[in-house]
């Protein structure tokens, strides 16, 4: 029996697309659904193009997440992955799926984490602080932004000439290379 992965994303969906493709021929796991808080997010189109059910929900549904929790339970997720999901994840869902919700953050936590630190904001802060490296952190989700137990980190060197866009491109390469493998490892260790 394949393990079920549910993905949450808010935007473009390159990480989501990469994860779906990675697990398409897997005997271990499969992506069963993609959920987004943005009905216009490109991630929904990318997912549907790969024959994955893709649904959106409103901010009101996120703030009163009982229906979202019921929907999730129907998919019986072994792992919920936040792949570019920008809202604080509901505590009720975290509690319903203990140690089954993970997030990828585009920096080396604990640096550059917390409320408002996502995407371009992170890369801009990294450049402004003249960091010599950045990277990714994959961590369990708890009730505080970016404070859950770290599962995996990978760093990449930066140059003084790197712009926030350059940092974003380097970090995205790491995300695409490592996130599917870490998801697979987490699912294997969970059994």
Q: State residue 188's pLDDT score.
A: 86
- Average the pLDDT over 36-40 and give the result: 94
pLDDT tier at 42, thresholds 50, 70, 90: very high
Active site residues: 105
CB 187 within 8 A of CB 78: yes
- Cβ count within 10 A of residue 118: 22
Q: State residue 86's pLDDT score.
A: 82
Q: State residue 1's pLDDT score.
A: 87
pTM reported for the whole predicted model: 0.95
Q: What is the mean pLDDT of the chain?
A: 94
- Average the pLDDT over 176-187 and give the result: 96
Answer positive or negative: Cα dihedral of 34, 38, 41, 45.
Answer: positive
- Cβ count within 10 A of residue 48: 12
**% of the chain surpassing 90 pLDDT:** 85
Q: Does domain 3-106+136-153+180-189 have CATH number 1.10.150.530?
A: no
Answer positive or negative: Cα dihedral of 145, 150, 152, 153.
Answer: positive
Q: What is the tens place of the pLDDT at every residue in 44-68?
A: 999 999 999 999 999 889 889 999 9
Q: What is the tens place of the pLDDT at every residue in 91-113?
A: 999 999 999 999 999 999 999 99
Does 191 have pLDDT greater than 60? no
Q: Domain spans of the chain? A: 3-106+136-153+180-189
Long-range CB contact pairs, 158-163, < 8 A, 24+ = 158/126, 158/127, 158/131, 158/132, 158/133, 158/134, 160/130, 162/127, 163/127
Q: What is the tens place of the pLDDT at every residue in 130-173?
A: 999 999 999 999 988 889 999 999 999 999 999 999 999 999 99
Whole-angstrom Cα distance, residue 130 to residue 142?
A: 30
Q: Which residue has the tokens 């997030």?
A: 103
- Average the pLDDT over 37-43 and give the result: 95
């Amino acid at each position: 029996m394949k393990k079920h992965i549910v993905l949450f994303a808010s935007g473009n969906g390159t990480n989501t697309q990469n994860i779906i493709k990675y697990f398409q021929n897997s005997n271990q796991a499969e992506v069963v659904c993609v959920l987004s808080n943005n009905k216009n997010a490109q991630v929904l189109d990318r997912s549907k193009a790969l024959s994955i059910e893709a649904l959106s929900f409103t901010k009101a549904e996120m703030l009163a997440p009982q229906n979202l929790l019921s929907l999730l339970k129907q998919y019986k997720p072994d792992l919920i992955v936040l792949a570019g999901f920008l809202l604080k994840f509901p505590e009720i869902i975290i509690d319903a799926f203990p140690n089954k919700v993970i997030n990828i953050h585009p920096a080396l936590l604990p640096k550059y984490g917390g409320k408002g630190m996502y995407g371009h904001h992170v890369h801009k802060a990294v450049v402004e602080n003249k960091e010599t490296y950045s990277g990714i952190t994959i961590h369990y989700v708890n009730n505080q932004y970016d404070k859950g137990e770290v599962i995996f980190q990978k760093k990449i060197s930066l140059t003084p000439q790197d712009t926030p866009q350059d940092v974003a491109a380097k970090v995205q390469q790491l995300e695409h290379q490592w996130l599917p493998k870490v998801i697979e490892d987490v699912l294997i260790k969970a059994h």
